[in-house]
Amino acid sequence: MRAGAERVAVPARRALADARSGPGDRNLAYVAAVNGNGAFDGDALCGRTAVYDPWGTALASAGEEPATVTAEVDPERAAAVREEFPALRDRR
């Protein structure tokens, strides 16, 4: 996040069931946690794509069925959150 990213896409949703511990909260950026659904190469995909704001609050999400997820992303909001909670200044 040193280059000032305001949005991050995370494929396969990884372990973002709790967005508060995900990359958006650590880096104070919007996160699109994306996953497919159905089956792929014999593996079951659970869907549940979601978009989170810089605080880790879900802005939009899908269930296990096919869906398109959209959300408004405001770069000024990310900047305001970073001013309110300047955690990035503590990086080492």
Whether the model pTM is above 0.85: no
Q: How confident is the model at residue 19 (pLDDT cuts 50, 70, 90)?
A: very low
- pLDDT score of 3: 56
pLDDT in tens, 59-86: 999 888 888 999 999 989 888 888 888 7
Find the helix or strand (DSSP H, E) in which 81 lies.
Answer: helix 75-84
> Taking 70 as the threshold, does the pLDDT of residue 32 lie above it?
yes
**33-47 pLDDT tens trace:** 888 888 888 888 888
Domain extents in the chain = 7-90
Half-sphere exposure of 47 (CA within 13 A, CB side): 12
